[in-house]
Amino acid sequence: MFESLGALAGSPWIYALVGVSVLLDVFLPVLPSGVLVIMGATAAAAGSEAATGRVPHDVPDILALTLCAATASVLGDLVAYRLAWRDGTRLARAIARSPRLALAQERLGAALAQGGGALVVLARFAPAGRSVVSLGAGAAHSRARDFLPWSALAGISWAAYSVALGYFGTHWLGAGWLATGVSILALVGAGSLAAYLMRRPRQGTEPAEAGAA
Can you give the pLDDT at residue 4?
46
Task: Answer left, alpha or beta for residue 31, where phi above 0 means left and psi between -120 and 50 means alpha.
Answer: beta
Q: Is the pTM of this model over 0.75?
A: yes
**112-167: pLDDT as tens digits:** 666 567 888 988 998 888 888 888 888 878 888 888 999 999 999 999 999 999 99
**170-192: pLDDT as tens digits:** 888 877 788 888 999 999 999 99
